[in-house]
Amino acid sequence: MKPLSLNQLYKVCVLKDLPFKTTRNLEPLAEIVGQNRAQSAVRFALAMPHGGYNVYAVGRPGLGKRTMMLRYLEHHADLEHQIHDWCYVANFEEPRVPKVLKLPAGKGNELKQDMDKLMTRLMKMVPQTFDSDGFLERAEQLKNGVAKKQEDELEKVAAQAKRKKVSLNITTPGGYRLVAMNGDEPHTAESFQALTEAQREKFEKDINKLEKNLRQALRKIADWEQEYAEAQQALNEETLESISGEQIEGLIAKYADQGDVVSYLKAVRSDLSESLDIFLEENEEQAAIAYASLDKKTPRRYLVNVLVHQKTEDVPVVVEDNPTYHNLFGYVENVTFKGTVFTDFSLIRPGSIHRANGGYLLMDAIKVLEQPFVWDGLKRALRARALQINSLERELTLSGTISLEPEEIPLDVKIVLFGDRETWMLLQEYDSEFAELFRVTADFENEMMRTDESQVLYAKFIASLVDEKKLLHCTNRAVARIIEHSARMAEHQDRLSLHAADIANLLRESDYWARQAGAKLMGHNHVDQALESAEYRSSRIRDQFYDSIRDGTTLVTTSGSCIGQVNGLSVLSTGGYEFGLSNRITATCYYGDGGVMDIERDVKLGGNLHSKGVMILSSWLSAHFAVMDPMHLSASLTMEQNYGEVDGDSASLAELCALVSALAGLPVRQDLALTGSVNQFGEVQPIGGVNQKVEGFFATCKLTGGLTGSQGVIVPLTNVQNLMLDQQVVQAVRNGQFSVYAVTNAKEAITLLLGKPAGEADDKGRYPKQSVFGMIQQRLEKMREHERQEHSRDDSRDPSIH
């Protein structure tokens, strides 16, 4: 068999396919490259006006889901979408239920400033005006007028009483008493008793009549008191109107198209005269609370709490990195004053969902699910399409203190959750409401096809990252090197990795090395330096394994030949860094029932997939050598010097070759290593980590005596498209020091390793005598013949047969 050619080991990015000299000549992409499916889903979801079309973005971390979403929204957000400011103001009729005001974008702060100006004017003018001579004189006139009428009315009753020899006395404030008089002195009980019956009856009759007159007079006095209060209120209102009327009328005219605001301003006008004390008395408590809550010393009753203020006309796009209950849904703050906990509508604080109302809210799904009560609260808000600010204490029912119940705010928001596929599947399975509220799944690709057109697109994607991160621009050779590395990350010659975070990190590190060297552009050498540096930082564990190979602690043979011993290949991962290692796989055979003992499985070091691979080998052996007669050779398999759990079936081809070598008694070439899994028909199936495995055996050969030129690796033919080997390996192949072979079935691998043809069976199932399978067949036949002779000998000795 011929080894693979150089262009099969590494697909170079040809510079003529990149029509630019540096990324400075490229127009940066507005979106993430290669995510057409996800972009289509997002476009559909954001265009749907109906509820429930929220987005769950599926994909592993680092694919640029958030970046793509933000860029898309930046360029494609609905500009016709109406956005609003939201304010809370006092409800003068029901203080525990603050009213919500909806204003056009930017008008919330304007209303707050207008109200602040009005209140500042009133705080200054009200005390001055109500303490002025003019106001006090008019108030005094009102008071004196009503007092005179009251006195005259009482005088009238007193005069009537005097004519009847009865005195009208004031007992308590507002209390009156009619007393019969004995000359100038009131009658005592004795003197009254000394009067005649007729005199006493006359006094009682007169007093009863006077009492009726007094009651009528007192009713008039009460009415006059009420009239005075109303007149005083009217005077107050008239005075307030002279101070604030023009300003309030101006505000009503200014906000004439905002019905809610006009109603609020009218309510303020009505409430001002009833709350004059706020302006006339020096209220230390209000000042202290204002200081504690970081507010101005404005009457809190008339504050405008701007919950959401849109600074621009752009549709809001909010990213919530810490979606706790309060951060998301808002809360009501408390202020402590002299040991008393105080709150009011001005202490209502918004959450990120308030700021995103009318736009888009982006969050991480796992963070949302980790926070108590957040997921249920989010679903409740999306179902009701309304935002209700409830304190978490009330959710937990831990507190029965008086709290506010602000009016709910209509909710019009699109939620975008970022998460992995496992979380998405769990939500689909266990939350019946999830599919109703998140009807659109944006499925992000891990890879894209590598074509001449897509390479140019990828170059523009690199240019956009350079622009965004403020890095040095790249030469076309640097871009070509990054594209080649991306294909290696994707583990496919004709695909490119879409893991944007890894590419961004590579660019940052390449930029660092370029700046260290004083270069004005990032070159391919800086990219290589960044890759080497990253590998060096992560390769301590690998180097320890290599040291054990170098000093002979790990037994590996890369020359000569040996029966039943094969160099298998494995991949180890240490926190994101993967490397390949050579493993010695050995097989022994002995007289038995034809079974294959998997030592790894029996000692519980083999995983399910590994055990499945060994069982397939047993089936393959039986199908080839025990179709008509039993096999009398059993075998045992193991990975030598393996002290941890092993899983996967990528060693099954190597195990099969070790078994065949042991059964045939033919030595295996130790200068070749192989990887691949086999099915029951002996077809070689693809495996993962092929680049690391080839490079692992290449490093092993260098560590154990150097390259001889005969060494190489056998891989499945279906894995050739995955080869993007390290330049050291490619150079060694170019120099004829190393080879990579590709096989499609087990027979080809056996022929390469054992140096003899595996053999093809004829119509009678016989293999050529000099073939590998023919030698196994002959050995098994000898054993069967020996078995028959032993049975015949035993039968001749048994008297019961005769």
Q: Residues with catalytic annotation?
A: 650, 693
Q: What is the Cα–Cα distance from 482 to 466, expressed in whole angstroms?
A: 13
Cα–Cα dist 232/89, whole Å: 29
C-beta of residue 304 within 8 angstroms of C-beta of residue 87: yes
Residues 523 and 477: beta-carbon distance below 8 Å: yes
DSSP label of 4: P
Task: Indicate the angle between helix axes 65-76 and 36-47, nearest 10 degrees.
Answer: 50
* Token pair belonging to 578: 């993967």
Measured between alpha carbons, how far is 508 from 514 in angstroms, rounded to an integer? 10
Structure tokens at 638: 């193991």
Question: Is the separation of the CB atoms in 646 and 607 below 8 Å?
Answer: yes
Within 10 A of 198 (CB to CB), how many other CB atoms are there? 8
SS3 content of the chain, % helix, strand, coil (to 5): 50, 20, 30
List, in sequence order, every residue forming a beta bridge with 636; answer none if it has no partner: 588, 597
Give the whole-angstrom CA distance, residue 757 versus residue 773.
Answer: 9
577 C-beta neighbours (distance < 10 Å), count: 16
* Geometric angle at alpha carbon 138, from 132 and 143, rounded to 5°: 120
3-class DSSP state of 256: coil
Which of 433, 491, 441, 123 shows the shortest CA–CA distance to 278? 123
Q: Which helix (H) or strand (E) holds 308?
A: strand 305-308
Contact assessment for residue 510 and residue 502, using Cβ atoms and an 8 Å cutoff: no
Listed in sequence order, the residues at least 6 apart from 227 whose beta carbon sits closer than 8 Å to its beta carbon are 146
Rg (CA), the chain: 48
Cα 143 from Cα 115, distance rounded (Å): 34
Q: Are 170 and 217 in contact (CB under 8 A)?
A: no
Strands 565-574 and 305-308: unpaired
Quick one: which H or E segment has residue 749? helix 746-754
Cα–Cα distance list, 11 to 142, 197, 325, 450, 487 (Å)? 102, 138, 51, 11, 9
Alpha helices by DSSP H, 323-442: 325-329, 352-355, 365-370, 374-384, 392-396, 421-430, 434-437
User: Angle 524-538/500-516 helices, nearest 10 degrees?
Assistant: 110
